[in-house]
Structure 1
Amino acid sequence: MCGITGWLDWQRDLTEQGAVVTAMADTLKRRGPDAGGQWLSPRVGLAHRRLIVIDPNGGLQPMVCSVGGRAFAITYNGELYNFLDLRRELEGRGHVFESRSDTEVLLRAYIEWGPACVEKLNGIFAFAIWDEGEQQLFLARDHIGVKPLFYAQRGSSFLFGSEMKALLANPLVKPEVDMDGLTELVSMGVFRTQGHGIFRGVTEVLPGHSLLVTRNGVRVTQYWKLDSHEHTDDFAATAQHVRELLEDAITRQLVSDVPIGSMLSGGLDSSGVSAIAARAFRQEGRQLDTFSLQFVGEERDFRANPMQHDLDAPWAKRVADASGTNHRVILLDTPDLLDNILEPMRARDLPATGDNETSLYTLFKKMKPDVTVALSGESADEVFGGYPWFYVPEMRNLNLFPWQAIGVGKVENIVRPDLLDQLNPVRHRAERYQQALRQVPRLAGESAEDARTREIFYLNMTGFLPYMLDRKDRMSMAASLEVRVPFCDYRLIEYLWNVPWEMKFARGEEKGLLREAFSHVLPEDVVRRRKTAYPLNHNPAYLEGVKAKVREIAEDGTSPIFDVFNHEKILASAYFEGQYEAGPIALKNYYEYIIQMDGWMREYNVSLV
């Protein structure tokens, strides 16, 4: 995994802008701490930061290949899980390879098939290829959007990067947020609309899309999308096919030239991934390393809630013992979280959500000395239907994004009254919701109930999943760790898209189909365990810690957040005592949001325009 960035300009000579291109790449060092490079031509400067995973000596980037006197240069972030198959196909077409890397396979795939090469790729990727002969730049992002990619146009320039900080390192891109960006930030929070970069004039390449940049402009193409059709397999055949797809995805994603492990919480998703990976390791005479997260004092502090029914620790041990993994518990304490509270914001270039991201970042940082790559159970809930809003009528039938039913993403209660009318977050969310519904791939003849289920899945795929993948990518890459997500194999998602809810909810259990698919590799009690959310820190000392930070911000009074938020309300909340009506978790989330916004606006020198 790596970080990529580049600058295309149709007027100035970029061979003289090496220092700026280097500065853009340097912002991505945590994504790629092992090596860096740049390639300059009069029109284009490409740069790369590398995290070595495959072919340490042969995968240096930017990589340049000349065919018939025509030069092609690539900067690439990701992994191709079918690169060996593609390499054999390309060799059959006469290509001679100089390395073992998937980078060269991707570059030669573009040379052979042009922009259509993306239709042959199975993996997670974001890349840019400059064709010197045709004077055009081609960019693409993977089917599901696992790897990030942003761009901005400024006059004769086109700039891109894995993260927005790379763009902001170029003098042409300022950290400006206009009313549209502020509305999106306040209305949607971390669940920002796909494609929206928040900063003025910054755009995110959508999943399954590619861009071709020429002197005539930017042409955007959608190369992959979900297709709705009738599902004809019975339950047994469906479960078997899902099992085969998962086993293929997981085993393909074990390819690595560096140490690889698996995250194991004891929940169904990570347990199934870890069990299959452990079996593949055993067949090679190896033992899989697995990792779980635990908070100091969690047995004392934990309180069951609708999203967390019990503690993970006993279940992680149960699966590790059953699968024969070398399991390690990463123990986090309150100071770990408070000391790193702004790291998620720095990784995202935007305000983050709090300790669920800080703890994930700290977990990855503590895993890094032992592994460079890890598998994750991320995304199973979105594609199999694990959240309560898939099946609880009161939540699934609300006329808004389902996660808003639990208050996720609403902060307008502290927005300054004079701004609130301009931003109108309620209207903005409603517009975004209706926009998303218009994009749902419909199936003619479906019942109203089935059509609503399809809507819920689409909303999750395009609204909730992007946040989860963004969180996973930014927190892991900030720790220089590559995390792979087998549940985001596009073949699996294509198949599941049309599987009826009755099968996904088999036996009246959330993810009943997945439980059946994993039943051959997991103990029965693990298969039947109720879903529980990513663990949060329940230590009262953490709540007091974030409250103290908010008190400092409020008492200082000079924070730029007071251009947006009501100072008096924040000051009053900083001295709040007693029981918060929405509960301690909601209060903690509120404090964390203030801290994140303050840190972001200060450190990025955000200018409201």
Structure 2
Amino acid sequence: MCGIAGYLDYTGLPNDMGTLDRMIETMFRRGPDAGGHWADDFVRLGHRRLAIVDIEGGRQPMSLQRGDAPALVLTYSGELYNYRELRTELRDLGHRFDTESDTEVVLAAWAAWGAECVQRFNGMYAFAIWNASQRQLWLVRDRLGIKPLYYKMTPNGIIFGSEPKAILAHDAASPRVDSEGLVQLMLPLLKLPGRTPYAGIREVLPGHIISRTSERTREYAYWSPATTRTNRDTWGRVVGTVRELLADTVRRQMIADVPLCTLLSGGLDSTAITALARNALHDKPVRSFSVDFVADPSLARSTEDAPYVIEAVRHLKTEHANIVLHGSQLASPEARTACVEARDLPLGIGDLDISLYLLCKAIKQHSTVALSGESADEVFAGYRWFHHPDAVAADTFPWMSDSPAHGRLHQRIVKLFRKDLVARLGVGDYVAAEYEAAIAEVPRQGAEDAVERRMREVCHLALTRFLPTLLDRKDRLSMAVGLEVRVPFCDHRLVDYVYGLPWAMKYADSREKSVLRAAMGDIVPESILMRPKSPYPTTPDPAYSEAIRKQLCDRLLDSNGPLFDLFDEDELRIAATASEPGSLIGNVASEVILNFAHWLEIYQPTLPL
């Protein structure tokens, strides 16, 4: 896993690497093991490396020579899980390999099959490839968008990077937020395909390719869940296929030349991944990690995950470590700053970002790769809003509906902002328009009934508008400490297969994730199989809530400060003096506002106020 950055200018570039050096330096935490760059008259390609496979041989950017000149040059971030099979196929075609890295396989595959090679790839990846003879640059992103890739078009070329911060390090970019971007900042529960709050900076869409030549720019999709047809397999075959796909995926994703572990919360998803990892190791111990909180150093208070983690560890015999976080760690302004810088935006909700960041930081001391259960809820319909009648029937994104299914987080966040600003920007109309556009992407399939149609829409929304928020969060906060997190439930073969299942099968026993429970029944303890969906844990420490409210009070001492330009004055005062006991995520108001305070201070964005 790595960080990539670069730029292209068809008018020609001076013999100077200063701009590229600045850009790739912003990617240092993503790739602390090595750095490199490549240049010709028109393009600069940069790379920061987190060495996972072929530690000595996989240095980048990597080029493929034709005679004395480079024909193709690649800067690549990600892991190709089927690279060994592809290497064998390419060798049969006559290609000679000099390294054991998956990077060289990507380069050889492009040389052999062109852009169509991505149809053969199984993995998570984002890369740029330069065809020197044709003077053409390609940007490619994996099907689910597990790995980030951003870009900014210029009059004569393009700037790109794994994160916006790399692009912002270029003189042609600035942290300017337009009106649409400001609306997006008010909607942290919704990641809109291709767009960012920064004006002019876009994201390569999941499953898309962008090509740039001196004459034109072209963008096209090579994968989308909307194209998946209805799956008519029998129940027994469905359960068996899901098990086979997951077992194969986990086996593939355990390939690494560095220490590997799993994230184990005691829920169905993470326990299933850990059990399959143990099977792949032929019952050798798996290293696993969980997170817990204490309210007082002398009196531990466990989350509701704790007893299930203990049971999973006992059942699977893992080499387990429980990372215990104290409220003072979570309340550290330095930790919040690190999270805001990792995401380039003030998007964190509650202490979820900070606890994940600190968990990854602790894991990194022992492992470089972790397998996570992320995305099982989106793929197998695990969230409450898949099943709550009010959420499902709402004429909007179900998790943003005015229902208890997601703790009314959307409503709680939007009300924080100045009412005149929300009205002027038309936030409600914007959400409605985006919802209609998302629904329009789902094609009709024959004579499906109303329930089947609606649930297919909800599943599509989950994969394309909700899952990206979680993948972005997990990537940024883990890579900020040089930890690679792999997500087996995002294997596109599994996503395609399950997306096509009829709703009656996904909800076969009137419980969420019916198929997954059945597929894992013989390797996951019964109590965990039957455990209701539990949200990501947050700290119960009242001292933490008090500390962040104090931090917010200090910020509000300047009544002319920038927070008053964005947020409702009454809501600012309430957030600084009151908590939200009993809500899905407490302290939402103070957390969101503090994130904005740190972001405004660090990035000094231009806002349309």
- The interval holding the TM-score normalised by the smaller chain is over 0.9
Deviation at 1:155, TM superposition (A): 2.3
Deviation at 1:189, TM superposition (A): 2.1
Partner of 1:306: none
Deviation at 1:503, TM superposition (A): 1.7
* Superposed counterparts of 1:1-80, under 5 Å: 1-14=1-14, 16-68=15-67, 69-80=69-80
Secondary structure of the 1:220 match is strand
* Superposed counterparts of 1:389-428, under 5 Å: 389-405=385-401, 406-410=407-411, 411-428=413-430
Partner of 2:404: none
Counterpart of 2:344 (choices 345, 349, 361) is: 349
293-302 or 321-330: which moved more?
Answer: 293-302
Partner of 2:362: 366
Q: Distance in 2 between matches of 1:209 and 1:54?
A: 25
Partner of 1:327: 320
Q: Distance in 2 between matches of 1:343 and 1:79?
A: 25
Alignment check: 8 A CA contact 2:295 2:543 kept: no
Partner of 2:141: 141
Alignment check: 8 A CA contact 1:191 1:409 kept: no
Deviation at 1:99, TM superposition (A): 0.2
528-537 or 131-140: which moved more?
Answer: 528-537
Residues 251 and 586 of structure 1, relative CA distance in 2, 3 Å threshold: closer
Matched, 1:293 2:294: no
Deviation at 1:601, TM superposition (A): 1.3
Q: Deviations over 1:327-350 (max 9, x none)?
A: 110111111111112322111101
255-264 or 496-505: which moved more?
Answer: 496-505
Residues 218 and 413 of structure 1, relative CA distance in 2, 3 Å threshold: same
Q: Distance in 1 between matches of 2:308 and 2:230?
A: 38
Partner of 1:123: 123
Q: Distance in 2 between matches of 1:591 and 1:442?
A: 43
Letter in 2 for 1:323: L
* Superposed counterparts of 1:262-341, under 5 Å: 262-282=262-282, 286-297=284-295, 311-339=304-332, 340-341=335-336
Secondary structure of the 1:341 match is helix
Partner of 2:201: 202
Counterpart of 1:544 (choices 525, 541, 546) is: 546
Partner of 2:476: 474
Q: Distance in 1 between matches of 2:529 and 2:323?
A: 24
Deviation at 1:43, TM superposition (A): 0.4
Cα RMSD (Å): 1.8
Q: Distance in 2 between matches of 1:521 and 1:44?
A: 51
Gap regions ≥5 residues in structure 2: 402-406
Alignment check: 8 A CA contact 1:555 1:571 kept: no
Residues 387 and 526 of structure 1, relative CA distance in 2, 3 Å threshold: same
Q: Distance in 1 between matches of 2:124 and 2:372?
A: 14
Deviation at 1:137, TM superposition (A): 0.4
Residues 587 and 370 of structure 1, relative CA distance in 2, 3 Å threshold: closer
Alignment check: 8 A CA contact 1:81 1:252 kept: yes
Matched, 1:236 2:236: yes
Q: Deviations over 1:446-479 (max 9, x none)?
A: 1000100001101111111001101110111011
Q: Deviations over 1:315-373 (max 9, x none)?
A: 11211111121011011111111111232211110112231111001000000011000
Letter in 2 for 1:407: R
* Superposed counterparts of 1:530-541, under 5 Å: 530-541=532-543
Q: Deviations over 1:380-420 (max 9, x none)?
A: 00000001111121221111111113323343323234423
Secondary structure of the 2:543 match is helix
> Scaled by the length of structure 2, what TM-score is found?
0.95
Q: Distance in 2 between matches of 1:6 and 1:506?
A: 49
* Superposed counterparts of 1:444-593, under 5 Å: 444-576=446-578, 580=580, 583=582, 587-593=586-592
Partner of 2:380: 384
Partner of 1:442: 444
Identical aligned residues as a percent: 40
Residues 61 and 381 of structure 1, relative CA distance in 2, 3 Å threshold: same
Q: Distance in 1 between matches of 2:251 and 2:468?
A: 24
Residues 56 and 564 of structure 1, relative CA distance in 2, 3 Å threshold: same
Letter in 2 for 1:20: T
Q: Distance in 1 between matches of 2:548 and 2:70?
A: 57
Q: Distance in 1 between matches of 2:390 and 2:565?
A: 37
Deviation at 1:281, TM superposition (A): 1.9
Alignment check: 8 A CA contact 2:475 2:485 kept: yes
Q: Deviations over 1:199-223 (max 9, x none)?
A: 0101011100001110112100101
Q: Deviations over 1:56-75 (max 9, x none)?
A: 11100001111254521100
> Scaled by the length of structure 1, what TM-score is found?
0.95
* Superposed counterparts of 1:171-250, under 5 Å: 171-186=171-186, 188-226=187-225, 227-250=227-250
Q: Distance in 2 between matches of 1:566 and 1:141?
A: 39
61-70 or 251-260: which moved more?
Answer: 61-70
Deviation at 1:301, TM superposition (A): 9.0
Deviation at 1:12, TM superposition (A): 3.1
Q: Distance in 1 between matches of 2:472 and 2:577?
A: 33
Q: Distance in 2 between matches of 1:67 and 1:253?
A: 33
Deviation at 1:28, TM superposition (A): 0.7
Q: Distance in 2 between matches of 1:514 and 1:104?
A: 36
Alignment check: 8 A CA contact 1:559 1:602 kept: no
Q: Deviations over 1:104-148 (max 9, x none)?
A: 000111111111111110000000000100100011000000000
Deviation at 1:539, TM superposition (A): 1.1
Alignment check: 8 A CA contact 2:262 2:372 kept: yes
Residues 34 and 320 of structure 1, relative CA distance in 2, 3 Å threshold: same
Alignment check: 8 A CA contact 2:36 2:48 kept: yes
Q: Deviations over 1:60-102 (max 9, x none)?
A: 0001111254521100000000000110111011100000000
Letter in 1 for 2:343: R
Deviation at 1:572, TM superposition (A): 4.6
Q: Distance in 2 between matches of 1:161 and 1:48?
A: 10
Q: Distance in 1 between matches of 2:294 and 2:528?
A: 24
Secondary structure of the 1:258 match is coil
Residues 380 and 464 of structure 1, relative CA distance in 2, 3 Å threshold: same
Q: Deviations over 1:496-524 (max 9, x none)?
A: 01111222122221111101111121122
Q: Distance in 1 between matches of 2:523 and 2:561?
A: 53
Residues 345 and 297 of structure 1, relative CA distance in 2, 3 Å threshold: same
Alignment check: 8 A CA contact 2:152 2:200 kept: yes
Alignment check: 8 A CA contact 1:228 1:441 kept: no
Alignment check: 8 A CA contact 1:275 1:323 kept: yes
Alignment check: 8 A CA contact 1:129 1:139 kept: yes
Secondary structure of the 1:177 match is coil
Q: Distance in 1 between matches of 2:265 and 2:574?
A: 38
Alignment check: 8 A CA contact 2:294 2:301 kept: no
Deviation at 1:302, TM superposition (A): 7.0
Gap regions ≥5 residues in structure 1: 304-309
Question: What number of residue pairs does the alignment pair up?
Answer: 596
Residues 33 and 342 of structure 1, relative CA distance in 2, 3 Å threshold: same
Partner of 1:307: none
Q: Distance in 1 between matches of 2:563 and 2:409?
A: 20
Alignment check: 8 A CA contact 1:375 1:483 kept: yes
Letter in 2 for 1:408: L
Q: Deviations over 1:531-576 (max 9, x none)?
A: 1111111111111111111111111234323222233541354234
